[in-house]
Protein backbone atom coordinates (compact mmCIF):
# COMPACT_ATOMS: atom_id res chain seq x y z
CA UNK A 1 0.00 0.00 0.00
CA UNK A 2 1.04 3.59 -0.62
CA UNK A 3 1.58 5.76 2.43
CA UNK A 4 -1.65 7.79 2.09
CA UNK A 5 -3.60 4.52 2.10
CA UNK A 6 -1.61 3.19 5.06
CA UNK A 7 -2.32 6.39 6.98
CA UNK A 8 -6.04 5.62 6.71
CA UNK A 9 -6.16 1.83 6.84
CA UNK A 10 -3.07 0.22 8.44
CA UNK A 11 -3.72 -1.21 11.86
CA UNK A 12 -7.41 -0.24 12.11
CA UNK A 13 -9.29 -2.64 14.40
CA UNK A 14 -12.64 -3.68 12.97
CA UNK A 15 -15.29 -4.07 15.63
CA UNK A 16 -17.62 -6.84 14.38
CA UNK A 17 -20.33 -6.08 16.90
CA UNK A 18 -20.90 -2.43 15.99
CA UNK A 19 -19.62 -2.51 12.40
CA UNK A 20 -18.06 0.90 13.02
CA UNK A 21 -15.26 1.84 10.61
CA UNK A 22 -13.04 3.25 13.36
CA UNK A 23 -11.19 1.47 16.14
CA UNK A 24 -13.36 1.75 19.30
CA UNK A 25 -11.79 3.35 22.38
CA UNK A 26 -11.18 0.63 24.96
CA UNK A 27 -10.96 2.45 28.29
CA UNK A 28 -10.33 -0.59 30.52
CA UNK A 29 -7.25 -0.78 32.67
CA UNK A 30 -8.34 -4.18 34.02
CA UNK A 31 -8.68 -7.12 31.62
CA UNK A 32 -9.82 -10.70 32.18
CA UNK A 33 -7.12 -13.28 31.52
CA UNK A 34 -6.43 -16.96 31.01
CA UNK A 35 -2.68 -17.05 31.46
CA UNK A 36 -0.01 -14.55 32.60
CA UNK A 37 1.54 -14.18 29.13
CA UNK A 38 -1.63 -12.82 27.53
CA UNK A 39 -2.70 -10.21 30.10
CA UNK A 40 -3.55 -6.81 28.61
CA UNK A 41 -2.60 -3.72 30.62
CA UNK A 42 -1.77 -0.16 29.47
CA UNK A 43 1.74 -0.17 30.95
CA UNK A 44 2.44 -3.44 29.16
CA UNK A 45 1.93 -1.46 25.91
CA UNK A 46 -0.43 -4.17 24.66
CA UNK A 47 -3.98 -2.80 24.72
CA UNK A 48 -5.83 -2.80 21.40
CA UNK A 49 -5.68 1.00 21.09
CA UNK A 50 -1.91 1.01 21.64
CA UNK A 51 -1.29 -1.89 19.30
CA UNK A 52 -3.26 -0.55 16.33
CA UNK A 53 -1.46 2.80 16.38
CA UNK A 54 1.89 1.05 16.77
CA UNK A 55 1.05 -1.06 13.69
CA UNK A 56 0.15 2.03 11.65
CA UNK A 57 3.36 3.88 12.56
CA UNK A 58 5.49 0.74 11.98
CA UNK A 59 3.91 0.36 8.53
CA UNK A 60 4.57 4.01 7.65
CA UNK A 61 8.19 3.79 8.81
CA UNK A 62 8.73 0.45 7.03
CA UNK A 63 9.62 -1.17 10.37
CA UNK A 64 8.71 -4.53 11.86
CA UNK A 65 7.37 -3.19 15.15
CA UNK A 66 6.69 0.00 17.12
CA UNK A 67 5.87 1.21 20.61
CA UNK A 68 3.82 4.33 21.35
CA UNK A 69 4.79 6.57 24.27
CA UNK A 70 3.38 9.54 26.16
CA UNK A 71 6.08 11.91 24.81
CA UNK A 72 9.02 12.05 22.45
CA UNK A 73 11.42 12.12 25.39
CA UNK A 74 9.82 8.99 26.91
CA UNK A 75 10.39 7.29 23.53
CA UNK A 76 13.99 8.51 23.24
CA UNK A 77 15.12 7.65 26.75
CA UNK A 78 13.37 4.27 26.77
CA UNK A 79 14.93 3.33 23.43
CA UNK A 80 18.40 4.34 24.62
CA UNK A 81 18.01 2.46 27.90
CA UNK A 82 16.79 -0.52 25.91
CA UNK A 83 20.05 -0.84 24.00
CA UNK A 84 22.67 0.64 26.37
CA UNK A 85 23.97 -0.44 29.75
CA UNK A 86 26.49 0.79 32.33
CA UNK A 87 29.95 0.99 30.77
CA UNK A 88 28.67 1.63 27.23
CA UNK A 89 29.53 4.73 25.21
CA UNK A 90 27.08 6.67 23.03
CA UNK A 91 28.16 9.06 20.23
CA UNK A 92 25.70 11.82 19.36
CA UNK A 93 25.42 14.60 16.81
CA UNK A 94 25.83 17.90 18.67
CA UNK A 95 22.95 19.78 17.02
CA UNK A 96 20.12 17.52 18.13
CA UNK A 97 16.99 18.61 19.99
CA UNK A 98 18.12 20.41 23.17
CA UNK A 99 15.97 18.23 25.43
CA UNK A 100 17.68 15.07 24.16
CA UNK A 101 21.11 16.71 24.62
CA UNK A 102 20.19 17.64 28.17
CA UNK A 103 18.59 14.29 29.11
CA UNK A 104 21.53 12.27 27.80
CA UNK A 105 24.10 14.50 29.53
CA UNK A 106 22.20 14.65 32.83
CA UNK A 107 20.67 11.20 33.17
CA UNK A 108 22.78 8.64 31.31
CA UNK A 109 26.02 9.65 33.05
CA UNK A 110 24.33 8.94 36.42
CA UNK A 111 23.97 5.30 35.47
CA UNK A 112 27.45 4.91 34.01
CA UNK A 113 26.66 5.40 30.32
CA UNK A 114 29.25 7.66 28.68
CA UNK A 115 28.39 10.05 25.87
CA UNK A 116 30.33 12.19 23.37
CA UNK A 117 28.75 14.99 21.34
CA UNK A 118 30.30 15.40 17.92
CA UNK A 119 30.53 18.86 16.28
CA UNK A 120 30.24 17.82 12.61
CA UNK A 121 27.60 15.76 10.84
CA UNK A 122 29.92 13.58 8.75
CA UNK A 123 31.08 10.00 9.24
CA UNK A 124 34.69 11.22 9.80
CA UNK A 125 33.49 13.36 12.73
CA UNK A 126 31.85 10.34 14.37
CA UNK A 127 34.83 8.09 13.55
CA UNK A 128 37.11 10.27 15.67
CA UNK A 129 34.85 9.79 18.70
CA UNK A 130 34.84 5.96 18.64
CA UNK A 131 36.16 4.22 21.78
CA UNK A 132 36.48 0.50 22.57
CA UNK A 133 33.21 0.68 24.56
CA UNK A 134 31.20 2.58 21.91
CA UNK A 135 27.84 0.89 21.46
CA UNK A 136 25.53 3.26 19.59
CA UNK A 137 25.25 6.49 17.59
CA UNK A 138 22.41 9.03 17.67
CA UNK A 139 21.60 11.41 14.82
CA UNK A 140 18.82 13.86 13.92
CA UNK A 141 18.16 15.09 10.38
CA UNK A 142 17.06 17.66 9.27
CA UNK A 143 18.55 19.41 12.30
CA UNK A 144 17.12 22.19 14.39
CA UNK A 145 17.10 25.17 13.68
CA UNK A 146 19.35 25.36 10.57
CA UNK A 147 17.84 22.34 8.77
CA UNK A 148 21.26 20.83 8.06
CA UNK A 149 21.34 17.21 6.99
CA UNK A 150 23.18 14.03 7.84
CA UNK A 151 23.69 11.48 5.06
CA UNK A 152 21.59 8.73 6.64
CA UNK A 153 22.78 5.81 4.46
CA UNK A 154 26.45 6.71 4.99
CA UNK A 155 25.94 6.98 8.73
CA UNK A 156 24.04 3.66 8.86
CA UNK A 157 26.88 1.92 6.95
CA UNK A 158 29.46 3.43 9.26
CA UNK A 159 27.50 2.13 12.27
CA UNK A 160 27.23 -1.37 10.80
CA UNK A 161 30.94 -1.51 9.92
CA UNK A 162 31.80 -0.58 13.50
CA UNK A 163 29.22 -2.80 15.15
CA UNK A 164 27.30 0.19 16.54
CA UNK A 165 23.53 0.49 16.90
CA UNK A 166 22.24 3.47 14.91
CA UNK A 167 19.42 5.60 16.30
CA UNK A 168 17.74 8.53 14.52
CA UNK A 169 15.26 11.16 15.61
CA UNK A 170 13.02 11.39 12.53
CA UNK A 171 10.64 14.00 13.94
CA UNK A 172 11.46 16.70 11.35
CA UNK A 173 11.70 14.17 8.49
CA UNK A 174 8.34 12.53 9.23
CA UNK A 175 7.61 8.95 8.03
CA UNK A 176 6.13 10.44 4.86
CA UNK A 177 9.32 12.11 3.56
CA UNK A 178 12.02 9.94 5.05
CA UNK A 179 12.29 6.25 6.03
CA UNK A 180 15.66 5.78 7.78
CA UNK A 181 15.10 2.04 8.44
CA UNK A 182 15.10 1.53 4.65
CA UNK A 183 18.49 3.27 4.57
CA UNK A 184 19.97 0.88 7.15
CA UNK A 185 19.26 2.68 10.44
CA UNK A 186 18.36 0.39 13.37
CA UNK A 187 15.99 2.50 15.48
CA UNK A 188 13.71 5.42 14.55
CA UNK A 189 12.31 7.77 17.18
CA UNK A 190 9.57 10.40 16.88
CA UNK A 191 8.30 13.19 19.01
CA UNK A 192 4.74 12.40 17.92
CA UNK A 193 3.73 15.65 19.64
CA UNK A 194 4.82 17.32 16.38
CA UNK A 195 3.74 16.01 12.94
CA UNK A 196 2.28 12.61 13.91
CA UNK A 197 -0.31 14.25 16.17
CA UNK A 198 -0.18 17.42 14.10
CA UNK A 199 -2.72 19.66 15.85
CA UNK A 200 -0.68 21.09 18.75
CA UNK A 201 -2.97 19.37 21.24
CA UNK A 202 -1.44 15.98 22.03
CA UNK A 203 1.80 14.82 23.62
CA UNK A 204 3.12 11.47 22.37
CA UNK A 205 6.15 9.64 21.00
CA UNK A 206 7.07 6.53 19.05
CA UNK A 207 9.92 4.08 18.55
CA UNK A 208 10.06 1.92 15.42
CA UNK A 209 12.57 -0.88 14.84
CA UNK A 210 12.96 -4.63 14.29
CA UNK A 211 10.99 -7.20 16.29
CA UNK A 212 14.19 -8.28 18.06
CA UNK A 213 15.15 -4.75 19.09
CA UNK A 214 11.59 -3.78 20.11
CA UNK A 215 11.55 -6.65 22.59
CA UNK A 216 14.60 -5.18 24.38
CA UNK A 217 13.06 -1.71 24.39
CA UNK A 218 9.70 -3.09 25.51
CA UNK A 219 11.38 -4.64 28.52
CA UNK A 220 12.50 -1.17 29.69
CA UNK A 221 9.19 0.45 28.71
CA UNK A 222 7.30 -2.10 30.78
CA UNK A 223 9.42 -1.20 33.83
CA UNK A 224 9.46 2.59 33.43
CA UNK A 225 5.95 3.25 32.07
CA UNK A 226 5.63 6.26 29.79
CA UNK A 227 2.67 4.65 27.99
CA UNK A 228 -0.05 6.65 26.26
CA UNK A 229 -3.63 6.27 27.54
CA UNK A 230 -6.47 4.98 25.34
CA UNK A 231 -8.16 8.35 24.74
CA UNK A 232 -4.90 9.96 23.64
CA UNK A 233 -3.99 6.91 21.57
CA UNK A 234 -7.31 7.14 19.77
CA UNK A 235 -6.67 10.84 19.05
CA UNK A 236 -3.26 9.91 17.64
CA UNK A 237 -4.85 7.24 15.43
CA UNK A 238 -7.29 9.86 14.10
CA UNK A 239 -4.45 12.33 13.48
CA UNK A 240 -2.39 9.78 11.58
CA UNK A 241 -5.20 9.26 9.05
CA UNK A 242 -4.44 12.74 7.67
CA UNK A 243 -0.66 12.69 8.19
CA UNK A 244 0.27 12.34 4.51
CA UNK A 245 -2.05 15.06 3.21
CA UNK A 246 -1.15 17.39 6.08
CA UNK A 247 2.62 17.16 5.75
CA UNK A 248 2.64 17.22 1.95
CA UNK A 249 0.61 20.45 1.98
CA UNK A 250 2.86 21.85 4.71
CA UNK A 251 5.99 20.99 2.70
CA UNK A 252 4.59 22.55 -0.49
CA UNK A 253 3.81 25.70 1.48
CA UNK A 254 7.31 25.68 2.99
CA UNK A 255 8.90 25.39 -0.46
CA UNK A 256 6.87 28.36 -1.78
CA UNK A 257 7.64 30.47 1.29
CA UNK A 258 11.36 29.65 1.16
CA UNK A 259 11.54 30.55 -2.54
CA UNK A 260 9.76 33.87 -1.90
CA UNK A 261 11.79 34.80 1.17
CA UNK A 262 15.14 34.22 -0.51
CA UNK A 263 14.29 36.95 -3.06
CA UNK A 264 13.58 39.65 -0.44
CA UNK A 265 16.34 42.23 0.21
CA UNK A 266 15.55 42.28 3.95
CA UNK A 267 16.43 38.56 4.20
CA UNK A 268 20.07 37.56 4.64
CA UNK A 269 19.69 33.78 4.42
CA UNK A 270 16.99 31.14 4.09
CA UNK A 271 17.60 27.61 5.35
CA UNK A 272 15.33 25.01 3.69
CA UNK A 273 16.55 21.65 2.31
CA UNK A 274 14.28 22.05 -0.73
CA UNK A 275 16.21 25.10 -1.95
CA UNK A 276 19.00 24.53 -4.46
CA UNK A 277 21.04 27.05 -2.46
CA UNK A 278 20.87 24.83 0.67
CA UNK A 279 24.31 23.31 1.37
CA UNK A 280 22.81 19.83 1.78
CA UNK A 281 20.27 19.96 -1.08
CA UNK A 282 21.92 17.00 -2.87
CA UNK A 283 21.70 14.82 0.27
CA UNK A 284 18.08 15.94 0.70
CA UNK A 285 17.22 14.82 -2.85
CA UNK A 286 18.88 11.47 -2.20
CA UNK A 287 17.16 10.58 1.08
CA UNK A 288 13.88 12.55 1.20
CA UNK A 289 10.91 11.73 -1.03
CA UNK A 290 7.71 13.66 -1.87
CA UNK A 291 8.88 16.80 -0.05
CA UNK A 292 11.61 18.31 2.07
CA UNK A 293 9.68 18.80 5.29
CA UNK A 294 7.85 21.83 6.60
CA UNK A 295 10.43 23.49 8.84
CA UNK A 296 12.45 26.42 7.57
CA UNK A 297 14.60 29.15 9.08
CA UNK A 298 15.54 32.58 7.85
CA UNK A 299 17.80 35.38 8.97
CA UNK A 300 16.61 38.98 8.78
CA UNK A 301 18.99 41.78 7.90
CA UNK A 302 17.99 44.02 10.82
CA UNK A 303 18.63 45.08 14.43
CA UNK A 304 16.81 44.74 17.79
CA UNK A 305 14.26 47.40 16.83
CA UNK A 306 13.61 45.67 13.50
CA UNK A 307 13.19 42.31 15.18
CA UNK A 308 10.54 43.72 17.52
CA UNK A 309 8.75 45.41 14.61
CA UNK A 310 8.75 42.23 12.49
CA UNK A 311 7.18 40.05 15.16
CA UNK A 312 4.67 42.76 16.12
CA UNK A 313 3.41 43.04 12.55
CA UNK A 314 2.72 39.34 12.00
CA UNK A 315 -1.03 38.81 12.07
CA UNK A 316 -1.58 35.20 11.04
CA UNK A 317 1.62 33.49 12.14
CA UNK A 318 1.87 33.33 15.90
CA UNK A 319 5.00 33.17 18.03
CA UNK A 320 4.81 29.80 19.79
CA UNK A 321 7.11 26.99 20.83
CA UNK A 322 6.82 23.43 19.54
CA UNK A 323 6.13 22.71 15.87
CA UNK A 324 4.41 20.46 13.37
CA UNK A 325 0.84 21.66 13.92
CA UNK A 326 -1.67 22.62 11.24
CA UNK A 327 -1.14 26.28 12.20
CA UNK A 328 2.08 28.10 11.25
CA UNK A 329 4.20 29.10 14.24
CA UNK A 330 7.41 31.05 14.63
CA UNK A 331 10.22 30.89 17.20
CA UNK A 332 13.38 32.86 17.91
CA UNK A 333 15.97 30.07 18.56
CA UNK A 334 18.43 32.46 20.29
CA UNK A 335 15.74 33.27 22.89
CA UNK A 336 14.15 29.82 23.13
CA UNK A 337 15.60 26.42 22.17
CA UNK A 338 19.23 27.65 22.05
CA UNK A 339 19.15 30.33 24.76
CA UNK A 340 21.29 28.25 27.15
CA UNK A 341 24.17 28.04 24.65
CA UNK A 342 26.76 30.84 25.23
CA UNK A 343 26.32 33.70 22.72
CA UNK A 344 29.75 33.26 21.06
CA UNK A 345 29.18 29.53 20.49
CA UNK A 346 25.68 30.24 19.19
CA UNK A 347 27.15 32.70 16.71
CA UNK A 348 29.73 30.13 15.57
CA UNK A 349 26.89 27.67 15.01
CA UNK A 350 25.16 30.26 12.80
CA UNK A 351 22.31 30.90 15.24
CA UNK A 352 22.17 34.70 15.32
CA UNK A 353 19.66 36.91 17.14
CA UNK A 354 18.10 37.65 13.73
CA UNK A 355 17.35 33.97 13.01
CA UNK A 356 13.70 32.84 12.98
CA UNK A 357 12.43 29.29 12.74
CA UNK A 358 9.11 28.79 11.01
CA UNK A 359 6.95 25.70 11.37
CA UNK A 360 4.77 25.93 8.29
CA UNK A 361 1.13 24.90 8.62
CA UNK A 362 -1.65 23.97 6.20
CA UNK A 363 -3.02 27.49 5.68
CA UNK A 364 -3.02 28.85 2.11
CA UNK A 365 0.59 29.57 1.14
CA UNK A 366 -0.37 32.95 -0.35
CA UNK A 367 -1.85 34.11 2.96
CA UNK A 368 1.28 33.03 4.82
CA UNK A 369 3.53 34.77 2.28
CA UNK A 370 1.45 37.94 2.53
CA UNK A 371 1.67 37.90 6.32
CA UNK A 372 5.45 37.45 6.26
CA UNK A 373 6.14 39.99 3.51
CA UNK A 374 3.87 42.61 5.16
CA UNK A 375 5.80 42.25 8.42
CA UNK A 376 9.18 42.21 6.64
CA UNK A 377 8.34 45.32 4.66
CA UNK A 378 7.95 47.32 7.88
CA UNK A 379 11.74 47.01 8.40
C1 LIG B 1 13.25 16.89 17.20
C2 LIG B 1 12.63 16.64 18.55
N3 LIG B 1 12.83 15.45 19.14
C4 LIG B 1 12.30 15.17 20.35
C5 LIG B 1 11.54 16.10 21.03
C6 LIG B 1 10.95 15.75 22.36
O7 LIG B 1 9.60 15.48 22.21
P8 LIG B 1 8.49 15.68 23.36
O9 LIG B 1 8.45 17.14 23.68
O10 LIG B 1 7.25 15.14 22.73
O11 LIG B 1 8.93 14.88 24.52
C12 LIG B 1 11.29 17.35 20.44
C13 LIG B 1 10.49 18.35 21.14
O14 LIG B 1 10.45 19.51 20.79
C15 LIG B 1 11.86 17.62 19.16
O16 LIG B 1 11.68 18.81 18.55
- Of the residues 74, 171, 189, which should be mutated to test ligand 1's pocket, given the most ligand atoms within 8 Å of the CB? 171
pLDDT of residue 256: 98
Query: Residue 319 in contact with residue 293, Cβ under 8 Å?
Result: no
pLDDT value for 285: 98
- How confident is the model over 22-40, as a mean pLDDT? 94
The neighbouring-strand residues paired with 293 are none
Q: What is the dihedral of CA 102, 105, 107, 108, to 10 degrees?
A: 140
Average pLDDT over residues 240-261: 98
Among protein residues, the one with the nearest Cα to ligand 1's atom 7 is 72
User: For the chain, what is the mean pLDDT?
Assistant: 96
Taking the CA atoms of 370, 374, 377 and 379 in sequence, report the sign of the dihedral they define: negative
Over 90: is that where the pLDDT of 19 sits? yes
**For ligand 1, what atom is nearest to the CA of residue 96?**
1
- How many Å apart are CA 104 and CA 115, to the nearest integer? 7
CA of 16 relative to ligand 1 center, distance in Å: 37
Cα end-to-end span (Å), the chain: 49
Q: Is the CB of 93 under 6 A from ligand 1?
A: no
The residue-averaged pLDDT of 31-39 equals 91
Reported as type and span, the H/E element at residue 155 is helix 152-161
Residue 270, pLDDT > 90, answer yes
Average pLDDT, integer, range 258-275: 98
pLDDT at 173: 98
Contact between 94 and 117 (Cβ < 8 Å): yes
CB of residue 287 inside a 6 A radius of ligand 1: no
Q: Active-site positions?
A: 43, 97, 169, 194
> Residue 238 has what pLDDT?
98
pLDDT at 340 over 90: no
For 149-159, what is the mean pLDDT? 98
**pLDDT at residue 342 tops 90:** no
Contact 72, 193 (CB under 8 A): yes
Q: Assess whether the C-beta atom of 134 lies below 6 angstroms from ligand 1.
A: no
Q: What value, to the nearest 5°, has the Cα angle with vertex 247 and ends 66 and 178?
A: 50
145 C-alpha vs ligand 1 centroid, how far in Å? 13
Report whether residue 359 contacts ligand 1, using a CB cutoff of 6 Å: no
Contacts of residue 38, Cβ cutoff 8 Å, sequence gap at least 6: none
* 165 SS3 class: strand
Confidence bin at 8 (pLDDT 50/70/90): very high
From the CB of 191, is ligand 1 less than 6 Å away? Answer: yes
Pick the atom of ligand 1 nearest to 73's CA: 11
**Protein residue closest via CA to atom 6 of ligand 1:** 72
pLDDT of 347 reads 84
Instruction: Give the HSE-up count for residue 247: Cα atoms under 13 Å, Cβ half-sphere.
Output: 30
**C-beta 72 within 6 A of ligand 1:** yes
Q: Which of 136, 146, 194, 202 is nearest to 170 (CA)?
A: 194
Residue 349 has pLDDT above 90, yes or no: no
At 294, the pLDDT band (50, 70, 90 cuts) reads very high
Q: Is the CB of 97 under 6 A from ligand 1?
A: yes
> How many contiguous H segments (helices) and E segments (strands) does the chain have?
14, 12
Say what the pLDDT of residue 245 is.
Answer: 98
Domains of the chain in start order, with CATH, are 3-241 (3.40.640.10), 246-376 (3.90.1150.10)
CB-based burial of residue 31 (10 Å sphere; 0-12 exposed, 13-18 middle, 19+ buried)?
middle
Q: What is the mean pLDDT of residues 30-54?
A: 95
Using the mean position of ligand 1's atoms as its centre, give its distance from the Cα of residue 99 in Å: 7
Q: How far is CA 175 from CA 54, 289, 295, in A?
A: 13, 10, 15
The yes-or-no verdict on residue 375 having pLDDT over 90 is yes
**171 C-alpha to center of ligand 1: Å?**
7
Q: Measured between alpha carbons, how far is residue 100 from residues 20, 24, 78, 79, 140 in Å?
A: 40, 34, 12, 12, 10
- φ/ψ of 294, rounded to 5, equals -125, 20
Which pLDDT score, from 0 to 100, does residue 344 have? Answer: 85
What is the whole-number distance in angstroms between the Cα of residue 95 and the centre of ligand 1?
13
Residue 11 confidence (pLDDT): 96
User: pLDDT tens digits for 115-137?
Assistant: 999 999 999 999 999 999 999 99
pLDDT band at 150 (very low <50, low <70, confident <90, very high): very high
Report the relative pairing of strands 318-319 and 205-209 from DSSP bridges: unpaired
Which residue, among 69, 96, 61, has the nearest Cα to 193 in the 3D structure? 69
Is the predicted pLDDT of residue 308 greater than 90, yes or no? yes
The pLDDT of residue 38 is: 87
- pLDDT tens digits, residue range 161-214? 999 999 999 999 999 999 999 999 999 999 999 999 999 999 999 999 999 999
> Which residue owns the Cα nearest ligand 1 atom 15?
97
Band (348; pLDDT cuts 50, 70, 90)? confident
CB-based contacts of 16, cutoff 8 Å, min separation 6: none
Q: What size, in residues, is the chain?
A: 379
Q: What are phi and psi of 128, to 5 degrees?
A: -65, -25
Q: Is 170 in the pocket of ligand 1 (CB under 6 A)?
A: no
Instruction: Answer yes or no: is pLDDT of 341 > 90.
Output: no
Extended beta strands in the chain, E state:
65-69, 89-93, 114-118, 134-140, 165-169, 187-191, 205-209, 267-271, 295-300, 318-319, 329-331, 355-359
Amino acid sequence: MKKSTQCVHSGTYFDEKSGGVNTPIFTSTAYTYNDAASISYPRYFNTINQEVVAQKIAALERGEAALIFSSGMAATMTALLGVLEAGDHLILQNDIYGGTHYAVSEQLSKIGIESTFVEGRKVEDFEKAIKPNSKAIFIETPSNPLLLLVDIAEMANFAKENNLISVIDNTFGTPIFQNPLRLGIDIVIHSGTKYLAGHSDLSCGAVVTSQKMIEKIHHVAFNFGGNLDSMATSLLERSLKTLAIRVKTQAQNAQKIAETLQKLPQIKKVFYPGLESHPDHEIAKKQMKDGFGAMLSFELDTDAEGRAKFVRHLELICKALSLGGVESTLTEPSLTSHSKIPADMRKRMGITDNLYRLSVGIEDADDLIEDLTNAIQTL
